[in-house]
A and B are shown apart, each in its own frame.
Chain A
Amino acid sequence: MTSTTSTTPAGANPLYRWGKRSLATLGTLMAGLSLACLSTTAGAETGNANELRICAADEAPFSQRDGEGFENRIAVVVAEAMGRTPKFVYSERPGIWLVRDYLDKELCDVVMGLDKGDPRVLTTRPYYRTGYVVVTRKDLDFTLSDWNDDNLAKLTNIAVQLGSPPVEMLKAIGKFETNMNYMYSLIDFKQPRNQYVRVDPARMINEVIQGKADAAMVFASEIARYVKGSTVPLDMALLPPDTVPDSQGRTIEFVYAESIAVRKDDQALLDALNEALDKAQPQINEILQEEGIPLLELES
Chain B
Amino acid sequence: MKRLVLAVVMGTTALYAHANDKLIELSKSNSNWVLPGKDYSATNYSPMDQINKENVADLRPAWTFSTGVLNGHEGTPLVVDGVMYIHTPFPNNTYAVSLDEPGRILWSHKPKQSAAARSVACCDVVNRGLGYWPGDDTTGPRILKTLLDGHVVALDAETGEEVWKVENSDYRVGSTLTIAPFVVKDLVIIGSSGAELGVRGYVTAYNVHTGEQVWRAYATGPDEDILLADNFNAHVPQYGGRGLGVSTWEGDAWKIGGGTNWGWYAYDPETNMIYFGTGNPAPWNETMRPGDNKWTMAIWGRDVDTGQARFAYQKTPHDEWDYAGVNVMMLSEQKDKDGKMRKLLTHPDRNGIIYTLDRETGELVSADKMDDTVNWVKHVDLDTGLPLRDPEFGTRMDHKATDICPGAMGYHNQGHDSYDPERQRFFLGLNHICMDWEPFMLPYRAGQFFVGATLSMYPGPKGDRQNFVGLGQVKSYDAISGEFDWEVMERFSVWGGTMATAGGLVFYGTLDGFIKARDADTGDLLWKYRLPSGVIGHPMTYEHDGVQYVAIFYGVGGWPGVGLVFDLDDPTAGLGSVGAFKNIQHYTQMGGGIMVFSLDGKSPYTEDIEFAEYPSNS
Q: Which residues in A have some Cβ–Cβ distance to B below 8 Å? A: 9, 11-14, 18-19, 21-22, 25-26, 28-30, 32-33, 35-36, 95-97, 100, 113-115, 118, 120, 132, 161-165, 174, 177-178, 180-181, 184-185, 188-189, 191-196, 219, 222, 253-254, 256, 258
Which 4 pairs from chain A and chain B are nearest by CB?
A22-B287, A219-B446, A189-B174, A12-B447
B237 within 8 A of A: no
1/0 contact string of B432-452 vs chain A (CB within 8 Å): 000000011111111111111
Residues of B within 8 A of A118 (CB): 443
Q: Which of A19, A185, A258 lies in contact with B288, CB distance below 8 A? A: A19
Q: By the criterion CB–CB under 8 Å, are A189 and B120 in contact?
A: yes
Q: How far is the CA of A180 from the CA of B252 in the complex (A)?
A: 12
Question: Do A256 and B447 touch across chains, with their CB atoms under 8 A apart?
Answer: yes
A11 touches B447 (CB 8 A): yes
| Residues of A contacting B287 in the complex (Cβ-Cβ under 8 angstroms) | 19, 21-22, 25
- 9 A–B contacts from the bound complex (CB under 8 Å): A14-B447, A25-B287, A25-B397, A115-B443, A164-B446, A181-B174, A185-B174, A194-B454, A196-B442
Verify if B398 is at the interface (C-beta below 8 Å from A): yes
Within the complex, what minimum Cβ distance (angstroms) separates A287 from chain B? 17
Contact A188 B119 (CB under 8 A): yes
Residue interface bits B194-216, CB-to-A below 8 A is 1, else 0: 00111100000000000000000
Check if A163 sits within 8 Å of B445, measured CB to CB: no
Chain B residues contacting A219 (CB-CB under 8 Å) are 445-446, 448
User: B572 at interface (Cβ–Cβ under 8 A)?
Assistant: yes
Kindly count the residue-residue contacts between A and B in the assembled complex, taking CB atoms under 8 Å apart: 136
**CB within 8 Å for A36 and B250 given contacts A180-B198, A181-B173:** no
- Determine whether the beta carbon of A189 is less than 8 Å from that of B119: yes
Q: Residue B298 at the A interface, CB < 8 A?
A: no
State whether B448 touches A161 (Cβ < 8 A): yes
B440 with A174: CB separation less than 8 A: no
Give me 16 other A-B pairs in contact (C-beta within 8 A), A19-B288, A258-B446 excluded: A19-B250, A19-B290, A25-B397, A26-B449, A32-B398, A36-B440, A95-B444, A100-B442, A114-B445, A181-B197, A181-B256, A184-B174, A184-B198, A188-B120, A194-B452, A196-B452
Residue from B251, B449, B450 in contact with A174 in the complex, judged by beta carbons closer than 8 Å: B251
Residues of A within 8 A of B594 (CB): none
Given contact pairs A96-B450, A194-B575, A33 touches B398 in the complex (Cβ within 8 A): yes
Shortest distance between the CB of A293 and any CB in chain B (Å): 12
Task: Establish whether residues B253 and A177, one from each chain, have CB atoms under 8 Å apart when the complex forms.
Answer: yes
Are A193 and B453 in contact (CB-based, < 8 A)? yes
Interface residues on B, range: 35 or more
Most B CB within 10 A of own CB, among A14, A118, A163, A192: A163
What residues on A are CB-neighbors of B450 within 8 Å?
Answer: 96, 162-163, 196
Q: Is B396 an interface residue (CB 8 A)?
A: yes
Which residues on A sit within 8 Å (CB–CB) of B199? 181
Which chain B residues lie closer than 8 Å to A181 at the CB level? 173-174, 197-199, 256
Chain B residues near A185: list those with CB within 8 A.
Answer: 172-174
* A29 x B251 contact (CB < 8 A): no
Complex: chain A residue closest to B576, CB-CB: A194
Residues from chain B with Cβ under 8 Å of A114 in the complex = 445
Q: Which residues in chain B, 313-362, are within 8 Å of chain A measured between CB atoms?
A: none
Q: Does B255 contact A (CB under 8 A)?
A: yes
Chain B residues whose C-beta falls within 8 Å of the C-beta of A14 in the assembled complex: 447-449
Is the pair A180, B256 in contact by a Cβ cutoff of 8 Å? yes
Contact residue among B172, B396, B449, B453 (Cβ-Cβ distance under 8 Å from A194): B453
In the complex, what's the smallest C-beta–C-beta distance from B289 to chain A, in angstroms? Answer: 9
Most A C-beta atoms less than 10 A away, residue of B197, B256, B290, B443: B443
A115 and B445 form a contact (CB under 8 A): yes
Cα distance, A178 to B254, chains bound together (Å): 11
A33 to chain B, nearest CB (A): 6
A165-B253 contact, Cβ under 8 Å, with A189-B197, A194-B575: no
Chain B stretch 559-577: residues in CB contact (< 8 A) with chain A = 572-573, 575
